[in-house]
Amino acid sequence: MAAPGQLLNRKRNMASPFDAAHGPGRRHPATGALRPWGAALLLLACGASMLIQPAARGADSGQDAAAAARERAILMCRYVVSATRIERNPWRYASLPGFEVLSRAPDEETNWELSALQRGQMFQGVVIPSDWYPRPPVPYTVIIDDTSLDDVPAAQLHSRPIVFRAPVDALAWGELSEDAFVSTDLAEVHDHDTYAINANVYGVSTQSRACASSGLQRLLDCAPPLPRWLTAGMTGPKHGILRDGFALVDTGRRDDRFSTASNISGMSGMGLGSGDHAYLVQQTQRAMGAGTLWGSQDETERLLAQLRADKRRKIEILPLGQLFDEAGPTQENRTLWESEAGLFARWGLMGPGHDDPAMSRAFPEFVRRARREPVTEQLFTECFGFGYSVMERRLEKYLKSVLEKPTSVETAMPLKFPGIGLEEATADQAGRILGDWLRMQANAHWSNPELRGEFLDAAGRMLERAYRDDIARQAEAAPSLDAEPGPGAEPGTFFLTADRIRDPRLLAVYGLYEHDAGNDPKARELLEAAVKAGVARPKAYLVLSELRFAEAAAAPAGPKGTFSAGQGTSILGPLRAALRYAPTVEVYSRIAEVWSRCDATPDDRDIELLAEGVSFFPRDTNLSYASALVCARAGHFVQATRLIDNGLAFATDDGDRDRFNQLLSSMAVPSRRGAK
C-alpha cells in the first residue's frame, strides 16, 4: 500500500520526475531490439501491482533507470483526487463469470487489458495450486480508463496512466534487468470478499501480448490460511518469488492444435468457461521473473564474489525449525528468514520440488498439512521422506544454482483471446462499481484522514448521482433535488430511501459506504433491504450483524446485561448467511462473541459451527479460546477440550498457554460426567 506522502493529490499538485521529463500524457516510444532469448512482454505484477515490459532503447533510458533506482518513492501508486460525477454515457459494461468490467477505453485497449488478465490467471494456475485460492464470493471488478491527465476536468477522479521504470532490484533479474521495466500505477484495492482493479491504459502500447497477474490478495484470504513462511516466500516485497511479476519470453515452439478455453488452466475465471467455444492457438512461452536475493542486493553481490573465488564456500542457511516456527521471525533473523522463505517457495513451486515427480507430490502435501497442523520435523519427514538436515543441504545447493538468476516457468499461452462485447453502462452499474472502488480506496488510507475523507466524499457523490439517475430513468424524467422528499424534509434536501433502489448490489454498496461515513442509521436501512433481497455480498451481512450487535449492546434484553434469545437470533442470522459464501475468521469470531453474551444456550448445530470455525482458522488462538469458552459454558466439555488442545498446539507465548490451561482446569471432572 502506498504511503500518504507517495500519493498525488490535486490540492498539493505534486509531480514526479517522470512527469517533468515526459508529461503525464506522452505516448511511449516503440520497443527496440531485445536480446536473443526473445521478446519479453508486458506484465502487471502479482502482488505489488507492477508491470514489466521491454525496455525502450532511447537515449534517456539509462537516466530513467538511475532516477528510479534513486527514488523508490515514485514507484508507489498516486491518484488525482477531486470531486467526481457520472458523465452522460461515458462507460460501457460487461459481465463475465467471476468478473464485471467497466470501461471507457476503446475496444482494442479494453480487450488488451482483459487478455493480460486472462494470461495472468493462466500463469497463476500453472504456478499456484488451485486449492490455495478461495472461491471468490463476489465478482471482481475491472475498471479500464484511457484518459490523459492533461484532458481531465477539475471535477473528475482518475488514477494516473501507467508508466514504466527500471526495476529497483535489477540484480535479481540477471540478464533480463536491461529489458524489464516495472510500474506501480495500477490501483488495486480489496474488501476481503472482493477486489477491484482500476487501470488507466493511456499511452500503453497494445502491440505486445501482456501477462497481468493480479489479485494475489486472495492467497491471504483462503481457509485454512497458508502458512506465514509460504505467503512471505511468494509475495514478500523483497524476496517473494512473485514480488515483481513475470515477463513472457517466446521459446520458438508453437502448438498449432486448437483447444477450447475450458481446457486451458485458469481461463474460466475470466469468463471463458466450459460453455464457451472459443478456439485459441497456443504458443509455448517461458514466464521469467525476479530471482533470488540472499539478504540485500549488496549482500548478494558480496556472496556472488565469494562463490566465484570458492565454489565450495558454505552459505549460512537458517535452520528449518526456525523457518517453520509458529512465532515467526525474530528481529535478528528476519532478513534471513524472508530470504529462505522465498528460496523454499521457489524450490517447491518452480524448482526441484516441482520438477521431481516424488517431490512434486510431497511439497503440496506438506503445505496442506501445514495449513492445519504445527510443523514439526516428524511431519516434515512424513511428507518428504527425509528430515530437516537433508533439506537444508539441498536448499544450500539450490541457492548456489539460482542466485542472481531469474525465476522461470514454461507454459502454453494463447496467441490471441476472443474479445468481449460491451454495452452502455446504466447509472446504477457505473455508480455501484466506481463508488465501491472509491469506498475501498478510502478504507485503504486510514492513516491519512484527509485523503480518506476525499475518497469517501467522492464515493458519496458517485453513489448519489447513480441513485438520482436511476430514479430519473425509472420515472423517465429528469431528476430534481426534491423528487423524493422524506417526512419533514425541507425543499431542496436530498433524501435517500432504500425502497427506491432496485439493485440489491447497489443497496449493499451504498449501505457499506454510509457505514464507513459514520451514518449507521441510514446504513442499517440500506443493508437490511439488501440482505432481505438476498444480495451476494458477505461484508453486507457482517456489517448488518455489527449494527444489530451494537443496538443489542446498548439495550440488552436478557438478565444481568446479557442478550436475549431474540437479540442473539437477530445478530446471528446475517452471520450464518455470510458463511454460505465464504468462511472468514471475522464471522466466526463474532458468532463466538454473540454466544458469550447471550442468555440462550447454543444447540448442537451451533457448537458444530464453532468447531468448524476453529478447523478453518486453527492458528487463531483467540478464536479457539472464545469458542472453547462457549462450549464449556454450554456443557459441551468434549468439544471444549478439543478446542483447548488446538489452542495449546498453536500458542506461542506463556499468556496464551496459561489461559487455555486455566479454562481446562475450570471444567471440573464431576461436571463432565454425562457431558456432550
Q: Read out DSSP for 113-144?
A: HHHHHHHHHHHHHHHS-GGGSPPPSS-EEEEE
Buried b (16+ CB within 10 A) or exposed e, 256-289: eeebbbeebebbbbbbbeeeeebebebbebbbbb
State residue 532's pLDDT score: 97
Alpha carbons 567 and 546: distance in angstroms, whole number: 12
State residue 67's pLDDT score: 42
Average pLDDT of the residues of the chain: 79
State residue 493's pLDDT score: 58
- Nearest Cα to 55, choosing from 82, 69, 35? 35
Calculate Rg over the CA atoms of the chain: 27
Summarize pLDDT for 529-564 with one digit per residue, the tens. Answer: 999 999 999 999 999 999 999 999 999 999 999 999
Cis peptide before 491 (omega within 30 of 0): no
- Nearest Cα to 500, choosing from 539, 461, 478, 473? 473
Which residues, other chains included, contact 474 with Cβ-Cβ below 8 Å and sequence gap of 6+?
A: 500, 502
Global pTM reads: 0.82
Rounded to an integer, the average pLDDT of 159-163 is 73
Please list the alpha-helical segments (H only) found in 310-426: 320-323, 334-349, 352-355, 357-370, 377-384, 388-402
Cβ–Cβ contacts within 10 Å for residue 314, how many?
7
pLDDT, greater one: 350 or 671: 350
pLDDT, greater one: 465 or 58: 465
CA 365-369-372 angle, 5° bins: 155
State residue 272's pLDDT score: 36
Going by pLDDT thresholds of 50, 70 and 90, the confidence category of residue 251 is: low
Going by pLDDT thresholds of 50, 70 and 90, the confidence category of residue 210 is: low
State residue 114's pLDDT score: 87
- Using CA atoms, how far residue 13 sits from 9, 111, 146, in Å, is 6, 32, 21
CB under 8 A, 24+ apart: contacts of 323-330: 323/229, 324/227, 324/229, 324/370, 324/375, 324/380, 326/374, 326/619, 326/650, 326/652, 327/652, 327/653, 328/228
Alpha carbons 180 and 74: distance in angstroms, whole number: 17
- Nearest Cα to 142, choosing from 192, 212, 237? 212
In this predicted structure, the answer to whether residue 3 has a pLDDT above a threshold of 80 is: no
Per this entry, what is the length of the chain?
A: 676
Q: Are 273 and 97 in contact (CB under 8 A)?
A: yes
Summarize pLDDT for 585-626 with one digit per residue, the tens. Answer: 999 999 999 999 999 999 999 999 999 999 999 999 999 999
Lowest mean pLDDT among 286-290, 433-437, 497-501, 649-653: 286-290
Strand partners, 92: 103, 424
Going by pLDDT thresholds of 50, 70 and 90, the confidence category of residue 183 is: low
Buried b (16+ CB within 10 A) or exposed e, 63-83: ebbebbeeeeebbbbbbbbbe
Alpha carbons 137 and 578: distance in angstroms, whole number: 10
Lowest mean pLDDT among 157-166, 257-266, 315-324, 379-388: 257-266
